[in-house]
Amino acid sequence: MRRREFIAVLGAAASPALWPLVARAQPAAGMRRVGILLIASRTDTASPGYAWADAFKRGLTGLGWTEDRNIRFEERYSNDANELAINARELARLAPDAIFVEGSPALRAMRRASVDIPIVFASVIDPVEQGFVSSLAHPGGYITGFALAEFGLATKLLDLLKKLVPSLERVGYLYDPDQPASPGNWAEIEAAAPSLALRAFKVAVRNAAEIERAITALAGEPGSGLLVEAAPVNTRNRETIAVLAVQHRVPAVYQFRYLVESGGLASYGPDQLDMCRRAASYVDRILRGEKPRDLPVQLPTKFELVINLKTAKAIGLDIPSTMLNLADEVIE
């Protein structure tokens, strides 16, 4: 992937290339069980959570684990916070050898449900600040994994939005107030906005109706853009957000590519599928005897810029050629 001129790659010191893997022994005799807890609709298999689970399982397959031969998966999916907690308790009662989770809400639910089952996470923003691990190098306890990045990544999205729309004056942060990571993201956005000649404000949403009201109100103010938090409520309503943004000609940026594939304008952030594949390497090491406390939390090594040119044209936005040249993918 090409290095961005306008964005510094985070966490080079924590690259997995700098952490040598131990030599792998043969799998222990008998079937091993691994839990999977993800935020995704149980009925909509197009939800990105299913792709994350597949990437994780493919990673384990490449390390010698074959489903129903030497490993069995206990999978739980839900978009509802209460049901997520129930699913976490179910997995804890099953007492698998390890559990894979994606995202801060799933990790928080699993940590509340169990105090001793090894947990490997992917896509968790600033796990030290959120109190999940003691430090990146020495996580301690029974939790480790692959962090999303630091809260400062939100400011990179502000910078991206301003580069896409230089005339932008205001930006609304569409967030879920029930998400623990939201205050950290907002603090970074609020601090960075003035340096980009932007006035930032936050808009709390918990359902589709509130999202519609928020985007409609934002559209009434000229020179406005939108930064969409990667929260479950926004993921569930990603197509609604994209349609409303086009309808009202509001430029909106996101952290992950699946939101742009659903019609969003642009995204910049870590490659989630890559993190899920890498998480398999830690589950593999735990199944072979290593302890989570001895496995350092790693930061992303692959970032991707995705631009939806079709959406840009629909809102009357002319994307600079320099930005298109930097993009890892342009959707036309």
Q: Are strands 303-308 and 329-331 parallel, antiparallel or unpaired?
A: parallel
Q: Does domain 12-149+272-301 have CATH number 3.40.50.2300?
A: yes
* Cβ neighbours of residue 43 closer than 8 Å, sequence gap 6 or more: none
**Residue 241 and residue 256: Cα distance in Å, rounded?**
14
pLDDT band at 168 (very low <50, low <70, confident <90, very high): very high
Residue 99's alpha-carbon distances to 90, 120, 279, in angstroms, are 12, 6, 11
Per CATH, the number for 153-269+305-331 is 3.40.50.2300
pLDDT band at 178 (very low <50, low <70, confident <90, very high): confident
Check if 12-149+272-301 and 153-269+305-331 are the same fold: yes
Angle between helices 182-192 and 153-164 (to 10 degrees): 50
Q: Are strands 170-175 and 143-147 parallel, antiparallel or unpaired?
A: unpaired
Say which amino acid occupies 321. S
- pLDDT tens for each residue of 29-49: 579 999 999 988 777 777 788
**Residue 230 and residue 173: Cα distance in Å, rounded?**
11
- pLDDT tens for each residue of 270-319: 999 999 999 999 999 999 999 999 999 999 888 999 999 999 999 999 99
**Residue 288 and residue 290: Cα distance in Å, rounded?**
6
Q: Is the pLDDT of residue 5 over 80?
A: no
Q: Domain extents for the chain?
A: 12-149+272-301, 153-269+305-331
pTM of the complete model beyond 0.85: no
Q: What is the predicted pLDDT for the residue at 179? A: 81
Q: What is the predicted pLDDT for the residue at 151? A: 66
- pLDDT tens for each residue of 49-108: 889 999 999 999 999 999 999 999 999 998 888 899 999 999 999 999 999 999 888 999
